[in-house]
Structure 1
């Protein structure tokens, strides 16, 4: 296995871990513990199942760290294709995306402090603490809407690198551009027309599976030197 192929598979494996871990806080914890419009019940659920909630904090931290390593692995794989686009990918995907993960953990940590109360929060009665905890939980969700912009933007330089490489399918480059556009549109729908957010997400959500397919390609097949030349030669032979 060549060093380039090994790097591609490492990036795919790290990417797979993000895909597997991220839904825990994004989907499972809200469905298991949060009750829409009922702050008291939500706070009671968090207090009763604190370990489950704390695992949500941990998974956000892990995903933030993993995204930094994913971007580093992809930079090692594709940085020589175009240094400028490689640095843009590294900044957006390896620095800003993880930073938002780490920042968003503070919203959950604040909610947990309010659930426990304590001397510093004695001036607030339980209903007030519950309302403030719900506010921070909602801020966590709002930060996800903002983060979608960066989730999309980092895919654009990645897509250009894939298009300019000679060892990854060009189709993934075009598909990653569509994937990035889907995230960007969803983020602007969150900011400008939140009443459209669910509809936009349901329409554009399938495009986000491009990342999953790309990750599986890297993990299973790695970087294949001369991949496009082989394809072109096969096509030329077929034409003859």
Structure 2
């Protein structure tokens, strides 16, 4: 197994970890614990299923750390293709990590409020529930902001995949479309939230570009194109 093929498989394995862990807090926990328009029920669910909520918080932190390793691994893989594009991908991909850690603070605040610690005795239950919902809302808005970088880093990655010849160019095009989908979701969530569900339904198949890329590099790896030598062509 050549070095590029080996490094590509490693990158695919790390990417798989990100794709498996990230939806825990992003999709699963809101679907299980959050009740639209009902702060009391939502906070009660979090207090009752505290460990599940904590798993989501830890999942975000693990995703942040693994994403950083993923970005660096992909940089090492593609830096020989185009160093400038690889550096741009590295910088944009790095922003994922601090945003995840920053957003974890919102969930930590929700846990403190849901517990109703002694130092919060100056707030009644309704006030604590309201503050907890504020932090949950901040988490949601920060996710929309993070989607800007989730989308932007895919453009230099798509360019690197396209130029490398290691991976089919169709995957590169899908990655670029995936980037556009994230940007559309981000700006819709921040500017026109009433259309967020409609845009999310349209964007979902576009977001499978990362999954296609991950599966390809994990299963197929990378096989650099072999360029025939002049003597071989002459023969």
Report what 1:5 is aligned to: 5
| Conservation of the 8 A alpha-carbon contact between 2:141 and 2:190 | no
**Superposed displacement of residue 135, structure 1:** 1.1
Report what 2:233 is aligned to: none
| Conservation of the 8 A alpha-carbon contact between 2:151 and 2:182 | yes
Please give the residue correspondences for 1:69-88 in structure 2 after superposition, counting only pairs within 5 Å: 69-88=69-88
- 1:43 partner SS: helix
**Superposed displacement of residue 117, structure 1:** 2.1
Report what 2:19 is aligned to: 19
For structure 1, the residue ranges without an aligned partner over 5 or more in a row are 231-240
2:100 maps to 1:101: yes
Report what 2:171 is aligned to: 172
Distance 1:49 1:171 in 2: 43
Report what 2:224 is aligned to: 225
Please give the per-residue CA displacement for 1:135-158, whole angstroms capped at 9, x wherever unaligned.
111211111111111110000010
| Conservation of the 8 A alpha-carbon contact between 2:159 and 2:172 | yes
Report what 1:137 is aligned to: 136
**Superposed displacement of residue 119, structure 1:** 3.0
Please give the residue correspondences for 1:118-197 in structure 2 after superposition, counting only pairs within 5 Å: 118-197=117-196
Distance 1:39 1:146 in 2: 23
For structure 2, the residue ranges without an aligned partner over 5 or more in a row are 229-235
TM-score (norm. length: structure 2): 0.93
Report what 1:62 is aligned to: 62
Distance 1:218 1:4 in 2: 11
Report what 1:201 is aligned to: 200
**Superposed displacement of residue 31, structure 1:** 1.4
Distance 1:100 1:180 in 2: 18
Distance 1:166 1:43 in 2: 51
Report what 2:34 is aligned to: 34
Distance 1:118 1:174 in 2: 51
RMSD: 1.4
Please give the per-residue CA displacement for 1:182-204, whole angstroms capped at 9, x wherever unaligned.
11111111122111111111112
Equivalent pairs counted in the alignment come to 228
Report what 1:236 is aligned to: none
Which range is displaced more, 211-220 or 170-179? 170-179
